[in-house]
Homo-oligomer: A and B are copies of this chain.
Amino acid sequence: MARSASSQPTEVELQILRILWQSGGATAREVHNALAAAEAKETNYSTTVKMLAVMLEKGLVKRDESASPQIFSAATSQKATQRRMLGDLIDKVYDGSALSLVLQALSSRKATAGELTEVRRMLDELEKSRLPRPDHE
């Protein structure tokens, strides 16, 4: 499978991206530690560095080489990635129906009253101004 285009970040890549999104940027060591902390990952430091290198090649992360320990940061925003993966899921398992995904998300995970209100507000907005809401991220 040629991966550069049209395909999602892999499992581990996603974990690393999450770390970078949250920290805004980190050294290889920091990423490695966060990775180890997040789960019983117990991988070699070299592995993390390699992953970062691979992701750099794929264009998933950026790197500031001027810094003493190099600083890595995500190349794509979390929102853009979310949108991409969400669309993918909808196509692949919901037969393209965003509606059924939303309904299922609402029904299967118990939402708080505040959250429901939030959704309602979003609905109001959508219904009021039915504009081709730009995909600004």
Contacts and interface: CB of A to CB of B under 8 A. Distances in A.
Interface in A86-137: 86-87, 89-90, 92-95, 98-111, 113, 115-116, 118-120, 122-123, 126-127, 130, 132-133, 135
Interface stretch (A26-34, A41-49, A59-67, A77-85): A77-85
A43 to B, nearest CB: 13
Given A107-B133, A123-B123, 7 more contacts: A82-B94, A82-B100, A99-B119, A106-B122, A106-B126, A107-B122, A108-B133
Copies in the complex: 2
A14 interface: yes
A18 B119 contact: no
Contacts of A135: 108
A70 B106 CA distance: 39
Contacts of A120: 120, 123
Contacts of A108: 83, 86-87, 133, 135
B103 A123 contact: no
B86 A105 contact: yes
